[in-house]
C-alpha cells in the first residue's frame, strides 16, 4: 500500500482561503483541526481534531454525530450484524426507550419499551371482542350500555335505520320495499286499559284478525270463517231501532214471563202541574216509567199471557182459559 511521509512545516497562510495540495495534511493552529487537501478546495476537508471531527460527510462534536444539512443519517451494519443501542433511545424531546419487547399480553406495562408488530396484532386480536366506545362496550356483535343506562342512537338531521326499519322520532317505517313491519310475537301494552289503537282522527283502514275471537271487555266475538258471527255469554245489547238488513228487530219483554213475547214499549211521563217544562221538554227527558204492551193483539186476558196474576173485584184471579172476545190492548 502506498503512503506519504509527512514532513512538518509552518505556513503563515489564511487556511480558509489557501488551497492545500492534493494528499497533503494541514493542521489549523487556531482550532487544532486536521484537514486534508485535494488541490482544489480552499482550506481542504476537515478529517479530525479540534472541536469538530469528520467521518465522511458526518461531523462529530463532543458526543453529537451530525449529518450534513437536510441529509439522512444511515446506520448500516455489514452482513447479518445488528445496530445495537446499549442505552436509552430518544427521539426529540419524547420519552426515552430502552428496549423493544415481543410480548403478546403487554404484561410488562413499561413506559420505556416499544412493542413489536406481531405482539401488537396479537393483543388487538385477543381484545377486539371487548372494545369500549365511551360508556358502551362492544363484544362480538353486541353493543351494551352500562347497567340500568339507556342506549341512545341519534342521527344528525337524519334517521336511524336498523335492518330495514327506519326510526324517525316517534315514527317507524320500512326502509325497503316491504309492505309493512312484521311483529314476531304478542303486541301487549305496558298498562291495562290506558292506551289506544288508532285515534279519532287516525283510524286503521282494515283490521284482519283470525277466526278465533275478539275480546271486548271480556265479551268475545268469533267466526268460523263462513261469515257467521258468534257472540259469547248472553249476547249483544243493541241500541233501540237496530235492524237486520232493512227489517227492524222485534223486542221481547224484560221479565221472565214476557221474555218469549214480542212487546212494544211506551214511555209514561208524569206532570202534576208543578213542572215548568214544556211538553216538548218533558218528552225529551227520561221517562220515569216504561210500560210494555203486547206487540200482537191476541184473545188473551190482561196479564195472564205474561204469566202474572190479575185479581178481580170478587177476589178471584182472572184465568187465561175461558175468556173470549176481542182484546183491545194488553199489558
Cβ count within 10 A of residue 261: 21
Cβ count within 10 A of residue 258: 19
* Rounded-to-integer distance, Cα 28 and Cα 291, Å: 143
pLDDT at 63: 76
* Rounded-to-integer distance, Cα 222 and Cα 232, Å: 8
The answer to whether residues 14 and 23 touch, using CB atoms and an 8 Å cutoff, is no
SS3 letters across 154-202: CCCCCCEEECCEEEECCEEEECCCCCCCCCCCCCCCCCCCCCCCCCCCC
Find cell 514532513 and name the residue.
7
Eight-state DSSP code of residue 123: H
pLDDT at 118: 92
| pLDDT (tens digit per residue) in 116-156 | 999 999 888 877 766 667 788 877 778 888 888 888 888 88
* Rounded-to-integer distance, Cα 101 and Cα 113, Å: 7
| pLDDT (tens digit per residue) in 1-54 | 566 666 667 777 788 888 888 888 888 777 777 888 888 888 888 776 655 555
pLDDT at 280: 87
Q: Within a 13 Å sphere around the CA of 224, how many CA atoms are in the beta-carbon half?
A: 3
The span from the first CA to the last CA of the chain, in angstroms, equals 153
Cβ count within 10 A of residue 138: 14
pLDDT at 297: 61
pLDDT at 191: 92
Residues of the chain whose pLDDT is less than 70?
Answer: 1-8, 48-56, 129-132, 233-235, 297-308, 318-331
The answer to whether residues 73 and 67 touch, using CB atoms and an 8 Å cutoff, is yes
* Rounded-to-integer distance, Cα 48 and Cα 60, Å: 9
Amino acid at each position: 500500500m502506498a503512503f506519504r511521509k509527512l514532513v512538518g512545516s509552518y505556513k503563515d497562510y489564511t487556511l480558509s482561503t489557501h488551497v492545500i495540495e492534493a494528499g497533503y495534511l494541514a493542521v489549523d493552529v487556531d482550532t487544532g483541526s486536521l484537514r486534508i487537501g485535494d488541490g482544489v478546495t480552499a482550506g481542504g476537508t476537515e478529517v479530525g481534531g479540534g472541536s469538530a471531527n469528520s467521518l465522511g460527510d458526518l461531523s462529530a462534536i463532543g458526543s453529537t454525530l451530525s449529518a450534513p444539512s437536510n441529509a439522512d443519517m444511515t446506520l448500516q451494519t455489514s452482513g447479518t450484524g445488528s445496530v445495537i443501542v446499549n442505552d436509552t433511545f430518544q427521539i426529540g424531546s419524547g420519552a426515552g426507550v430502552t428496549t423493544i419487547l415481543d410480548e403478546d399480553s403487554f404484561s410488562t406495562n413499561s413506559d420505556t419499551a416499544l412493542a413489536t408488530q406481531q405482539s401488537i396484532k396479537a393483543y388487538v386480536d385477543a381484545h377486539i371482542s371487548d372494545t369500549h366506545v365511551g360508556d358502551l362496550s362492544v363484544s362480538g356483535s353486541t353493543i351494551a350500555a352500562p347497567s340500568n343506562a339507556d342506549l341512545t342512537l341519534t342521527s344528525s338531521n337524519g334517521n336511524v335505520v336498523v335492518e330495514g326499519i327506519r326510526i324517525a322520532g316517534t315514527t317507524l317505517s320500512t326502509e325497503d320495499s316491504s309492505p309493512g313491519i312484521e311483529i314476531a310475537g304478542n303486541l301487549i301494552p305496558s298498562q291495562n286499559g290506558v292506551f289506544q289503537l288508532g285515534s279519532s282522527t287516525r283510524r286503521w283502514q282494515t283490521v284482519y284478525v283470525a277466526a278465533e275471537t275478539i275480546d271486548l271487555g271480556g265479551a268475545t266475538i268469533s267466526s268460523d270463517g263462513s261469515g257467521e258471527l258468534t257472540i259469547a255469554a248472553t249476547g249483544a245489547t243493541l241500541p233501540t231501532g237496530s235492524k237486520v238488513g232493512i227489517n227492524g228487530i222485534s223486542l221481547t219483554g224484560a221479565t221472565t214471563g214476557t221474555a218469549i213475547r214480542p212487546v212494544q214499549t211506551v214511555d209514561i211521563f208524569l206532570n202534576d202541574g208543578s213542572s215548568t217544562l214544556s211538553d216538548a221538554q218533558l218528552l225529551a227527558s227520561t221517562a220515569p216509567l216504561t210500560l210494555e204492551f203486547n206487540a200482537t193483539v191476541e184473545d188473551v186476558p190482561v196479564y195472564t199471557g205474561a204469566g202474572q196474576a190479575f185479581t178481580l173485584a170478587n177476589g178471584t184471579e182472572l184465568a187465561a182459559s175461558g175468556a173470549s172476545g176481542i182484546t183491545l190492548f194488553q199489558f
